[in-house]
Structures are given as C-alpha cells and as structure tokens.
Chains A and B, each alone.
Chain A
Amino acid sequence: MAGATKSRGDLLQGTLDMLILQALLLGPAHGHTIAKLIGQRSNDLLQVEYGSLYPALYRLEDRGWIAARWGASQSNRKAKYYRLTPLGRKQLTIETSRWARLVTGVAHVLRPAT
C-alpha cells in the first residue's frame, strides 16, 4: 500500500521533518513560507519538493509535533498556519542531535585515511 512513499527514503523524510520543525521555531507559518524559509536559510542549496512538503506537514500534524489553524495571510487570503507544539519542540532537539551524530559519523568515514 505504502510502497510509493517508502521508496523516497527514510533519511530524506526525517531530514525534511527536522527542517520543517526548525523553520517553525521562528514562529507560525504557512506551507509556502516554510518552503521559502528553508530555501533562504540554506542559501538556496535546498529546494523543498512541494510534493513532499505537504504530506510531511500532515504527517507531523498527525503526530502532534505541529498544530494548524486557518488564518488570514498578508494578502488577506485564508491560509493554513502551522506552529510548533511543545512535543514538536522536544522532537526537534532529538532530531537535531541525531543529525549532528550522523554528520559527525559521515565526516569520520569520509576523512582521508591517516
């Protein structure tokens, strides 16, 4: 059933989750802003696939890490605003430290042999 989502890879998915949580640390935002934020903060190195972003948002909401509310945007249209929940904040620290460990590990592996 879930074959299509699985194939996208756990690492990427987990990473995207972490990036979303990190982006929301600055305050509530809607999907489009979140994507823009991640793009800007990575100096346009990371281009978020919208096709992955929205399912990820729903998944995080289902897990209770973020909460959503409909509000008016700057252009005065109805937009869905996401904000970090306390649970999400805790999850972010877990994800961040896991990422740090992963990066360190990978760096060690890639380090030229002495």
Chain B
Amino acid sequence: MASLLEIQNFSYTYQGAPGPALADISLAVNPGECVCVTGLSGCGKTTLLLAVKGLLYQGAASGTITVGVPGASSNGSTAGMVLQNAESQILCTAVSEEVAFGPENLCVPAEEIGDRVETALQAVGLNEYGSRTVEQLSLGQKQRLAIASVLSMQPQLLLLDEPTSQLDGPGKIQLLEVLQQLKSRGHALLITEHDLGPLHQIADWFVTMENGAIKNVTRKSPAHIAPEATPSSGRRSSGITRVLAARNLSLAYTGTGEVLKNLNITLARGELIHLFGCNGAGKSSFLRCVTGFLSPQSGEVEIAGIAGPRPEQLLGKVGFLFQNPQRQLFEDTVFAEVSFSLKRMRCDTGEVRQRVMDALSLCSVDHLVSRSPLTLSFGEQHRVALASVLAPQPELLLLDEPFAGLDFPQRYKILGILSELRERCGTTVVIVSHDRLPDPLWADRVLILEHGAIECN
C-alpha cells in the first residue's frame, strides 16, 4: 500500500536558532493508520506537524516530505491540521460558517459547500449544532468543530496537535470515537500527545521524540517514567483550623440554570485536595464564588477566616493560579514578577527578597531571577507564575487546571512543589481539574463536583 505521508531524512532549523528543531526524521503513515507522536515539551512534535502541513517558511530545511496518493481528488486538501488550542483556531462566529471556511478558501463551488458542511458536521457528531454560534459550544464541541472545519476540505491525512489536552473524560471518549470512525474510512492520522492513555485504542504506532529526533518507535505506548508514587506525607491537617468552608452554596446562571446546588465543603489547614469534575460541572464557578468574584444566590462562604470575602481582602491569604497562568506575567524580570504581591502587602525589602528567593528556589526557577518572564519557555513561565502566587505563603492555594499544556515530568514537578509547600508553610492546596492527577496518591482527599454538589471519593 502506498503511504499517504512519507518523511525522509527531514531536518529543520528555525531562523536564528542554535540547533535543529527536527533532526533527520524518517516516518511513514499509511491510509487508515494512526501514528501517535509523543515526547517532552520542546522535542519538536508541533514543528513536525507544521513541517508536514508545509507551514514552515523562514528556517533551513533538508530532506523530503511527500503527502498524498497519486490520483487523489483535486478539489480537496491532502493534509488538514487541527491546532492545539481550539478557541484560537476558530475564526468564524457561526458553526456552519466555520466549517465552510476551508472550502471557500479552496474556491469550492457554493452549491457543493453546503453538502460538505453537512457531511463534516455529521462526521464529528455536531450536525444538530450547525445553526448555533461558536460561543454556545463546550470546549469538547469546539475541538470537534475544529476537526469538522478541516474535514470539510476533504483531506486524506489529518494532523492533530494534542487534541485531548483540554478535554475531560467524556470529551475524550467522544473525540476518540470520531477519530476511530475517520480511521475506518481510510483517513491517516498523525497525532501528537502527552497523555497517551486514551489513544491506546486507536494508535497503531507510537513514536517517541527527543531533542528533535526520533528516539523510539513501538506498537505499545511508552510508559511514563514517574517518580515513585508515595502517599502524601508531611504535615497533615489537624482538623482543627478551618481554611475554607462553604455551606449550602447555590449559584445559577440565566439560560444555563443551576450550576451549584446546596454545595457544602470544609477544608482544613494543610490538606492536599483534588477537586475533580467534568467540563461544565461548575468548578470554575465554585472557585469564583469562594474568592468573592461571584455572589451566589444563597449560601455562606468563609475563606481564610473572612466571611463573605471580597477579592481584595484575600491578598496574602489566598493564592489562585488560573488556567494558562502565563497570561498574568507582565514584569521586566522574574524577581519583579514574583515580588509583586509582596510589595502590595507592604513587606519590607529584606523580607521580599527572602520570600522571593524561597519561592523561586522551591519552583526551581531561581536561576532565571534576572530574566524577563516573557521570554521564557512555556514550562518556565508556568513555574514563575506559580512562584508568584506562593511567594506570599498563603494559607490556601487554589489551582485551576494547572497541568494544561505541560508534559508529564513537568506535571510531577508541580505536584512535588505543592507537596513541599504544604510541608514548609502548612498551606492547604486545592487542585481543580477535569483529569486524574499524574500521581493518584498525591491528594489527601479527592472531591468530586457533580450535579452541582460535592462528594468525597
């Protein structure tokens, strides 16, 4: 069988970069085959997809990439690429317009586009959503819409960059069903991923990359090398000091309905908590309620000893690491970034210096103290942002989806930092996520947010 994708000795170096981003890559993907590429952040996975799609211009390339089978339809695109971030790759307001965008660019006759839109939406299970606006879709649906918008161009090869990274369990299952169907129809799939668990069912080959080169090609998914999983140890909650308490918390949005229903939760000092819930379960709403950004319809909240808090009252007491924490970076140096809250707390210079260096050391970014945070790598920015919220040594640290975009070693590192924080400062740490934690033994308690209420697992 002729390969749909053939890469032979391909190397690529970005303009001005000291070394190659891709080094002597050779790879083939056949129709109906799924190849999963994995590796640490920065190993070249996304660059590989961009190279296959032909979207690398300003660097130096060598080797060949051949996409497509001779005799394939000419009014389609041989390779379609779905980027990692579904939100920023959707360009139209309406679902049907987004799916029509690609064929319009290819000058497909208007009378044919309607059929393509219908077919593509059916293929991803969104045929009932064609009349909706994009804003009405969930994250998982947006991811499937991104796939539909590429399918409408009738590609033979699909390139997907970390398609499950922002999806919860049900979202991943739905996506994998779609990918399985595409595979069975003869599409070739080249997928990059960190979390390989869901892909067992559909991937035929697993390719591990390291420093731009292929390290390993196997039929089975490579195991993550994780630190030895141990039950959380160190200072445990005494059960006496309450750091967060919410009683009968209810919250509803117009049009959406009740998100939180008589929610009750109590967290003691020094606990490590994993708050788990699917996308749309109300996790973010809960966090905004307890930090005073949203007023619930009813209920009581006490956080760090403050009842009915306003956000400004929580400085130094509660730290909150939002999803994509790189968004909050703005200072000229890492030191200035991490010291921002401490200065607002009017700490003296010596104390600021001490706490900043402690936080940087804890997060293993002390060597970057004089660097601009905006020029760091994704993982480094993540840890700098984390250092900035734990420098004030808060009583309670809330983290909303802290692992998005991180590879597994980086995730383990974050967990280690948080455990260490609890040991040093007695901080209660709450990780809110839609996925299981890399280390299942990290948390003292796992709380499940479902149907607006919390259950303890």
Whether both chains belong to one complex is answered with no
Chain A residues within 8 Å of B, Cβ to Cβ: none
